[in-house]
């Protein structure tokens, strides 16, 4: 198994000439070309994983230095077990031990294919836990394994922790709703499905973030409408970027703003 140096998604060997995820219009192959790398090579280079508590019951896990896209994995810890969300493209025994000390892992899931990381490898190190992949995005799986389970619509992990398919960035793009987060007010883990902006008070809706290709206003409004049914006050994106409070209102207002700009309501300002 090798990983793409650009997106850090695992791929069975022999690998293709170019990473299929990176040649898609939502991603890119670097100017200096395609590179594949092994976990052993990363480990020998001193790769580390850092665990930091974001809030009670939510642990952020990031690579140092950055691997691939450089997302932050979120470990949601509940009394019944944990969800490993948006797995990074590196895993080691030290981190596995630290995760299992917090209880069993019930499932591994990614918000969308860019965040698959080394999901099968994580599963194997954690004891063969299920890897949940949205059926609409099965074509992007680079390493097939019996631990992968496909789902659509909504998928309950345990009490108070559920995956919901929103579509948008990818047809299978999903969020994880954690009811106990934010002191019981609810948390959404969104990856790129809805992306907390650097201003921390608005959200973006994009088909491609690096290539600046937006979703339509209608899709932004659809996603916001789907999530309106959930109770949440905080949103975490896939780089630990967040809307710290009143996130449902921010989501609603951001979708309205996105749709208005897409319609041309503000063309007089351009």
CATH number at residue 260: 3.60.15.10
Q: In angstroms, what is the C-alpha Rg of the chain?
A: 18
d(CA 44, CA 89): 15
- Please say whether the beta carbons of 195 and 248 come within 8 A: no
Q: Residue 105 corresponds to which tokens in the numbers above?
A: 């892992």
Decide: helix, strand or coil at residue 265.
coil
Give the count of domains, the chain: 1
d(CA 92, CA 39): 9
Which pLDDT belongs to residue 96?
98
The structure's pTM equals 0.97
d(CA 174, CA 110): 8
Which pLDDT belongs to residue 133?
98
Decide: helix, strand or coil at residue 257.
helix
Which pLDDT belongs to residue 83?
99
Q: Residue 60 corresponds to which tokens in the numbers above?
A: 């952020």
Taking each helix axis from N to C terminus, what angle separates 247-263 and 217-227, rounded to the nearest 10 degrees?
Answer: 160
Which pLDDT belongs to residue 122?
98
Q: Residue 10 corresponds to which tokens in the numbers above?
A: 């695992």
φ/ψ region of 103 (left if φ > 0, alpha if ψ in -120 to 50, else beta) reads: left
d(CA 181, CA 76): 9
How far is the CA of 132 from the CAs of 4, 86, 173, in angstroms?
21, 11, 12
d(CA 224, CA 208): 18
Give the list of residues 6+ apart from residue 33 with CB closer than 8 angstroms, or none.
none
Per-residue pLDDT of the chain (270 residues; tens, 9 = 90+): 999 999 999 999 999 999 999 999 999 999 999 999 999 999 999 999 999 999 999 999 999 999 999 999 999 999 999 999 999 999 999 999 999 999 999 999 999 999 999 999 999 999 999 999 999 999 999 999 999 999 999 999 999 999 999 999 999 999 999 999 999 999 999 999 899 999 999 999 999 999 999 999 999 999 999 999 999 999 999 999 999 999 999 999 999 999 999 999 999 999
Which pLDDT belongs to residue 202?
98
Which pLDDT belongs to residue 156?
98
d(CA 161, CA 235): 14
Could you tell me which of 127, 199, 189, 200 has the C-alpha nearest to residue 163? Answer: 189
Determine how β-strand 174-178 pairs with β-strand 161-165. Answer: antiparallel
- Side-chain half-sphere exposure of 128, counting CA atoms within 13 A: 2
d(CA 63, CA 202): 26
Which pLDDT belongs to residue 175?
98
Instruction: Give the range of the structural domain holding residue 219, as residue numbers without chain letter.
Output: 2-269
């Amino acid at each position: 198994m090798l990983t793409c140096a650009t997106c850090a998604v695992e791929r069975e060997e022999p690998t293709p000439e170019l990473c299929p995820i990176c040649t898609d219009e939502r991603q890119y192959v670097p100017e200096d070309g395609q590179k594949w790398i092994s976990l052993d090579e990363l480990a020998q280079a001193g790769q580390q994983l850092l665990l930091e508590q974001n809030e009670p019951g939510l642990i952020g896990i990031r690579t140092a230095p950055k691997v691939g896209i450089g997302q932050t994995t979120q470990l949601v810890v509940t009394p019944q077990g944990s969800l490993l969300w948006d797995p990074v493209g590196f895993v080691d025994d030290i981190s596995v031990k630290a995760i299992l000390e917090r209880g069993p892992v019930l499932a591994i899931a990614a918000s969308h294919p860019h965040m698959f990381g080394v999901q099968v490898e994580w599963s194997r190190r954690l004891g063969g836990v299920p890897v949940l992949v949205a059926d609409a995005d099965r074509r992007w799986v680079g390493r097939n394994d019996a631990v992968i389970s496909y789902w659509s619509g909504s998928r309950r992990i345990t009490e108070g922790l559920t995956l919901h398919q929103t579509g948008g960035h990818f047809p299978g793009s999903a969020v994880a709703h954690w009811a106990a987060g934010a002191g019981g007010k609810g948390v959404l883990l969104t990856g790129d499905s809805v992306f907390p902006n650097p201003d921390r008070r608005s959200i973006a809706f994009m088909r491609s973030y690096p290539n600046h290709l937006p979703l339509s206003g209608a899709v932004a409004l659809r996603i916001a409408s789907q999530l309106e049914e959930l109770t949440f006050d905080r949103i975490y994106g896939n780089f630990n970027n967040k809307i710290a409070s009143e996130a449902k209102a921010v989501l609603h207002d951001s979708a309205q703003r996105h749709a208005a700009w897409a319609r041309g309501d503000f063309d007089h300002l351009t």
